Amino acid sequence: MGVDEIVRQLLAVAAVFFIGLSKAGFGGGLGMLTTPLCAMAFDAKVAIGIILPLLSAGDIFSLYHYWGKWDRRNLTFLLPGVVVGVLVGVQLVGMFNTRQMNFCIGLLAVLFVVFQFSKEVIFRAEGAFAPNHLLGVPCGVGTGITSSMAHGAGPIVSMFLIPQRLHKEIYVGTNVLIFTWVNWIKMPFFFAKGIINRHTLELSLWYLPLIPVGVWLGVWLNRKFSEGAFIKVVYVFTLLAGLELMLHTHLTHWLRGHF
């Protein structure tokens, strides 16, 4: 196995581990790092196809852990727009070449980090927001588009949920419920457009055993360690991965030369 292949596999393994960790509720927005890392390891479109079945598998563990601890009303506000957004998003995936897709994924990663550091200021207004279709439908459209193109809709859903001032466990459970629906809505469209195919499914199956291992590790880390410092490291890596995909800074070549 050559150095390039070793680096590619390390990036892919890390990406899948992060799915499991994030689905266990550890590391905040850790899952946002998955697609940029996987896009650095594979072609961007292939990466998106590989990740979706793994996300859906991870959702099963999350649903078990947070079963019933959600605000179901949010589905009625978001899902109509999500369906429209997915229809648009899968068409956009076919319109961009690899370089353009990498840029889009990288941009979403960078915007995610900016959002994480600014959300406390953005949502400091007094009083809780009452969810409605007026904002839910456009947020759902944005969720469907960004989730289809890069599995990167976390900030959009957060912008809809955070102002509702939900209890932490209800917030996490609602997030889990929404993305379980979003991921399964995407599935038939990804098959129809060839984003998920025999090749990507074989790769997904190859990495699938890492999901429960990542979930177990996430549960253990939740019990043993504080997330604070770890999350900051995650944000730094997410930012670097996003910039690499946007600017093609040859970070992967540096890794190959040092490991």
Q: What is the pLDDT of residue 258?
A: 46
Q: What is the pLDDT of residue 217?
A: 81
**Nearest partner of 23 among 57, 74, 53, 67, judged by Cα:** 57
CB 109 within 8 A of CB 204: no
Question: Which residue segment(s) compose the domain that 149 sits in?
Answer: 3-258
C-alpha 77/C-alpha 165 separation (Å) is 17
How many domains does the chain fold into? Answer: 1
Q: What is the pLDDT of residue 122?
A: 62
C-alpha 48/C-alpha 45 separation (Å) is 5
Mean pLDDT, contiguous 10-residue spans, the chain (259 residues): 71 85 67 78 86 91 85 93 94 77 75 73 61 87 89 81 81 87 94 93 93 81 64 70 69 47
Q: How many other CB atoms are there within 10 angstroms of residue 44's CB atom?
A: 27
Q: What is the pLDDT of residue 137?
A: 93
Q: What is the pLDDT of residue 201?
A: 95
Q: What is the pLDDT of residue 48?
A: 92
